[in-house]
Amino acid sequence: MTKQQKRNSTTATKTSSSIIKVIPQKRAKVSEDSIQCWAHSQTGKRCEAKIHSREGEPIPIPYCDRHLKCGDGALKVVNHPFFGKALVARYDLPAKYRMAYWGIRGKCASCSVEDRAISYYPPNPVTGSNIDPTIEGGRTLKRHNYNGVLNPGNTGDIIQYAACPGPNEKQNMRSTFQYFGLRNGIMGGLEFVTLQPVPKNTQLLHWYGSGWWEERGIKRQDVGTKRYPAPLRESKQK
Ligand SMILES: [Zn+2]
């Protein structure tokens, strides 16, 4: 094979590979080593950048500086015909695909005014975990260490655009209560994971909580469209 032929065959392989096999990332753990960026390129290749602690936090937000700025290429922010923006899968994603929502930590002006900020519960500074073994049941959702909110405004976070499922729809991602960052730190994040395979162009949806709608006086509506479908509740599937 000549050099030219080789080049041609490589190009052909790249352009003809329409099936992308994305492997779900492992949960980030506290370790001496760096962690591999969770993001994928727009063609489905896992980012190889290594991430180290940024401000002394046990587990940094698992995106490299580039992907903090531009967001995970496996996901795409699109215009929604009547809800502003939506988050969709750029290509087929597996179940257990991990994503990190992140923002700048601060005080919440009013959660009913600021839609996208989420409460921040810093993880244990040594273990990086949010599980409090001193509380009965073990897997505590530790809610006694509130430390302000994470505001993704003016950051490169794109998980903020994931919508809430409407009455006939169901969520296909959820937060795991694994937070990133440090108490009183500058940035913080929260892990999300897909609950089922998410086909290309399908919207990523998670349940905002029943209070969200009432506080804003908005009627809950289905968000799926022909172009960007939403996963339906079993009873609504045909
Ligand atoms: Zn990266």
Q: Is residue 17 part of a domain?
A: no
Length of the chain: 238
What mean pLDDT is predicted for residues 107-117? 66
Helices (H) and strands (E) in the chain, counts: 3, 9
Q: Is residue 49 part of a domain?
A: yes
Q: Is residue 120 part of a domain?
A: yes
Query: Phi and psi (nearest 5°) for 63?
Result: -125, 140
Structurally, the chain folds into a number of domains equal to: 1
Position 66, amino acid: R
Q: Which domain holds residue 82?
A: 31-236
Which among 71, 184, 173 is positioned nearest to 121, based on CA atoms? 184
Digit-coded pLDDT (tens) for 148-176: 999 999 999 999 999 999 999 999 999 99
CA-CA distance, 154 to 150, in Å (whole number)?
Answer: 12
Digit-coded pLDDT (tens) for 192-204: 999 999 999 999 9
Token pair for 219 = 């009627």
CATH number of the domain at 75, please: 2.170.270.10
Which among 211, 206, 216 is positioned nearest to 177, based on CA atoms? 206
Q: What sign for the dihedral angle of Cα 165, 171, 177, 183? A: negative
Q: Is residue 161 part of a domain?
A: yes
CA 54 / ligand 1 centre spacing (Å): 15
Digit-coded pLDDT (tens) for 26-55: 998 898 789 999 999 999 999 999 999 999
Q: What is the pLDDT of residue 110?
A: 58
CA 157 / ligand 1 centre spacing (Å): 13
CA 154 / ligand 1 centre spacing (Å): 19
Q: Is residue 112 part of a domain?
A: yes
Which among 8, 58, 10 is positioned nearest to 183, based on CA atoms? 58
CA 39 / ligand 1 centre spacing (Å): 5
Pairwise pLDDT comparison (78 vs 136), residue with the higher score: 78
Q: Is residue 14 part of a domain?
A: no
Query: Phi and psi (nearest 5°) for 21?
Result: -105, 105
CA-CA distance, 77 to 37, in Å (whole number)?
Answer: 20
Q: Is residue 6 part of a domain?
A: no
Residue 187 has pLDDT above 50, yes or no: yes
